[in-house]
């Protein structure tokens, strides 16, 4: 049986950016940026795909406008968890605006497998949480599935 590509399976089993518990209070601080009043920003957001019970919460720490720490926690299928983990590599040192410009195609590309319509929400749940974390911290209108045209 070969359900998903090896990279997805590996990330699902051994994630780099996953913290154990939901709740941004439990964020690990391995890089430990020194919070400095003006240049330090924190954002978090939880999103769920209610139809399959998947939940992803992301926690972001920006220093000098660049993303220095990405973490997520959650429950879900291999695709949603692997995609949420891969977001950590993709977004390293990105600005908030660069993160908001990430498209679903980029996520599909880093996953490296064909994403069927029925799995598109699995693939994009982490991105939704990530982008909405930023939008929410700016008090801007949040995105929904229709914004990804799925």
Partner 1 sequence: MNKSDFSIFAQHPQLVYLDSAATSQKPKVVLEAIQKYYTEMNANIHRSAHFLAESATIAYEATRKTVANFIKAKHKHEIIFTRNATEAINLVARSWGETFLKAGDEILLSKLEHHSNLVPWLQLKEKIGIKIKYLDIDEVGQLIFDGSQITEKTKFVSLTGMSNSLGAITNLKPIIKRAHEVGAKVMIDACQLAVHSPIDIQELDADFLAFSAHKLYGPTGVGVLYGKAELLEKMPPFLGGGEMIQQVFEDHFVAGDIPNKFEAGTPNIAGVVAFKAALDYVNQIGFETIQKQETSLSEYALEKLKTLPYLTLIGPQEVENRGSITSFTMDKVHPHDIAEGLSQKQICIRAGHHCTQPLMDYWKLPATARASFAFYNEKEDVDRLVEGLEEVYQYFS
Instruction: Kindly report the number of other CB atoms within 10 A of residue 69's CB atom.
Output: 20
Which parts of 29-48 interact with partner 1 (CB under 8 A)?
A: none
Gyration radius of the chain's alpha carbons: 15
Q: In what order do the strands lie in the sheet with 66-75?
A: 40-49, 54-63, 66-75
Nearer to partner 1, 55 or 110 (CB): 55
Query: Counting contacts by CB under 8 A, is residue 86 touching partner 1?
Result: no
**Cα–Cα–Cα angle for 91, 97, 101, nearest 5°?**
75
Nearer to partner 1, 47 or 54 (CB): 54
Which parts of 94-123 interact with partner 1 (CB under 8 A)?
A: 119, 122
The mark string for 65-84 relative to partner 1 (x by CB under 8 A, - otherwise) is: ----------xxxxx-----
The answer to whether the CB of 53 falls within 8 A of the CB of 59 is no
Q: Which residues bind partner 1 (CB under 8 A)?
A: 1-4, 9, 13, 50-55, 75-79, 119, 122
């Amino acid at each position: 049986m070969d359900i998903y590509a090896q990279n997805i399976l590996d990330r699902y089993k051994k994630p780099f950016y996953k913290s154990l518990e939901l709740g941004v209070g439990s964020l690990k601080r391995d890089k430990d940026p020194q919070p400095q009043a003006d240049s330090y920003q924190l954002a978090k957001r939880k999103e769920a795909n209610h139809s399959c019970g998947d939940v992803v919460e992301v926690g972001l720490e920006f220093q000098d406008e660049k993303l220095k720490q990405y973490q997520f926690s959650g429950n879900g299928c291999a695709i949603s968890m692997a995609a949420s983990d891969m977001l950590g590599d993709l977004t390293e040192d990105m600005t908030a605006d660069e993160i908001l410009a990430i498209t679903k195609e980029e996520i599909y590309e880093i996953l490296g497998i064909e994403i069927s319509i029925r799995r598109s929400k699995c693939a994009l749940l982490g991105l939704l949480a990530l982008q909405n974390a930023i939008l929410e911290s700016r008090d801007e209108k949040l995105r929904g599935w229709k914004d990804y045209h799925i």
